[in-house]
Structure 1
């Protein structure tokens, strides 16, 4: 059974997509053991609580400096004995100590076809604003492993979404979520869970 921790900063729609995929059997051999947010008001934490999943808020603002936060963050993750960490709209840079210790065990969903519109400053609506400003005809989402760079780790899955006439950043964001993010993030988790299952046989 793959022990998963999901990191969210806001509404947790990708978290919900994962929970729904576990419920429907699209993801097997997987258990979400904790949901972590840097934002005490994140609705993602409420989604976790309503399912009886441990919910933890740990924010850089609660610590004197970034170093103290980084240590506390790693210590908190270690408590849950995680096989996989899923960044599902988590707007805090992952400390190097975490990417080092959990190398090959952290994945992120990014709302573009990497290497387009990724890296520092590209998150949330900004990604879709940039795609529309550039006039691209196709965008999408990418699931990738997390390394010490920003959106630079090896790609696991991508799915394209067409840009439609009259799209706004908001309408494009919604379609990328529905047609790409909520499809490939559960798929990637299921692939990892079942590869791990094979290895244990």
Structure 2
């Protein structure tokens, strides 16, 4: 059984998709052990509590230095016996000490088809604003492993979503969430939990 830590800064819609998929049996061999947020007021923490999942706030603001925060986060994850870290709208940079310790055991969902509209500065609505400015006809979402770069880790799964005439960033964001993010993230977790994801020379294959 894969024990997940889901890290989230806001409302937690992707978290909800994971919880629903586990409870419905779409995702097997996995459970959410803890939901961690840097924001004590994040609704994601309430979502976790409603489903009997441990919910904790670990914020950089509570520590004297970023190194102290990073070490506290790593200590917590290790003590909790976490197998896979899932970044689901987490707006804190994951430190190298955690990436090293959880190599190829951290995944992230990004709301575009990487390598388009990704990297430093591309998060939230900014991704969709950039896509609409460029006039792309297709966008989507990507689940990837996390490495030391920003959105540069091996790609696990992608799903395309059509951009429609008249889309606003908010409308496109919602469509990508519903059609891609809430589908891909649970699917990737299920594939990892059941041993169907393999990495060779930085390329992922999924059985």
TM-score range, shorter chain: over 0.9
Any unmatched runs of 5+ in structure 2? Answer: 197-207
Q: Number of aligned pairs?
A: 196
TM-score by length of 2: 0.93
1:79 is displaced (CA, Å) by 1.6
**3-state DSSP of counterpart to 1:113:** coil
Instruction: Indicate yes or no: 2:93 matched with 1:90.
Output: no
Any unmatched runs of 5+ in structure 1? Answer: 197-201
Instruction: Indicate yes or no: 2:24 matched with 1:4.
Output: no
1:164 is displaced (CA, Å) by 0.4
Aligned partner of 1:141 in structure 2 is: 141
1:13 is displaced (CA, Å) by 0.2
In 2, the alpha carbon distance for the partners of 1:172 and 1:85 equals: 27
Q: Counterparts in 2 of 1:55-70, with a 5 A limit?
A: 55-70=55-70
1:45-94: CA deviations, max 9, x gaps? 00111111111101111112211111111111112111100000000000
In 1, the alpha carbon distance for the partners of 2:61 and 2:132 equals: 33
**3-state DSSP of counterpart to 2:195:** helix
RMSD (Å), alpha carbons: 0.8
1:115 is displaced (CA, Å) by 0.3
Aligned partner of 1:52 in structure 2 is: 52
Q: Counterparts in 2 of 1:2-151, with a 5 A limit?
A: 2-151=2-151
In 1, the alpha carbon distance for the partners of 2:105 and 2:145 equals: 7
In 1, the alpha carbon distance for the partners of 2:65 and 2:119 equals: 24
**3-state DSSP of counterpart to 2:72:** helix
187-196 or 133-142, which deviates more: 187-196
**3-state DSSP of counterpart to 1:177:** helix
1:24 is displaced (CA, Å) by 1.3
**3-state DSSP of counterpart to 1:16:** helix
In 1, the alpha carbon distance for the partners of 2:52 and 2:29 equals: 18
